[in-house]
Amino acid sequence: MTKWKRIPGWILAALAGIVASQAAAQPCGGRWLYHSPDQQFPGVRKGGDLVPTVHAIVGFDPDGPGPQSEWTVVAGDFDTAGNTPANNIAAWDGSTWRTLGPGFNNFVYSLAVVDGQLYAGGRFTASGSTAGNRVARWTGSAWQPVGAGFTGGQVNAIAGLSGGGLVAVGSFTASGATTVN
């Protein structure tokens, strides 16, 4: 006889979020997430013989209620989107890949849109010449650091809090002078 164990609610919520994000990605059919020379559609890829990895995907409206349509932003470990150089993050506007500034100097593991603002979290420490210790916010033209960011490890997930604010989880050890293991 099988004995069932009660699954904590937070695990169910996390699984529901994963399933929902996967379902949201289905209309695109996943086709554009990977590109090989014999395929005729644009996708993300990594130079040489390395396979790209997409860790996060989110819908983002770059001009809020303005005339532009929502973009699909993907992040992970890649260096090209379509034929455009893109360091670990890029946006698909429905017909063209767009870069989001210079991208990041290391992997991006998570994306979140909070109050219309796009945030990225990961293992990166900079976007171009701008420091951004593992968490950054897109201004529409550049990535800016969020507070002191985090040192040690990486940000595995970020999310907005109801009522405002941002929460980050990962293997980091400090934010500025504050220990946050």
What are the tens digits of pLDDT across the range 171-180? 999 999 999 8
Helix (H) or strand (E) holding 35: none
Whether pTM exceeds 0.75? yes
Helix (H) or strand (E) holding 19: helix 9-25
- What pLDDT digit, counting tens, does each position of 92-142 carry? 998 889 999 999 999 999 999 999 999 999 999 999 999 989 999 999 999
Cβ pair 44, 73 in contact under 8 A: no
140-176 as b/e: b if 16+ CB within 10 A: eeebebbeebbeeebbbbbeeeeeeebebebebebbe
The C-alpha angle 25, 111, 83, rounded to 5 degrees, equals: 65
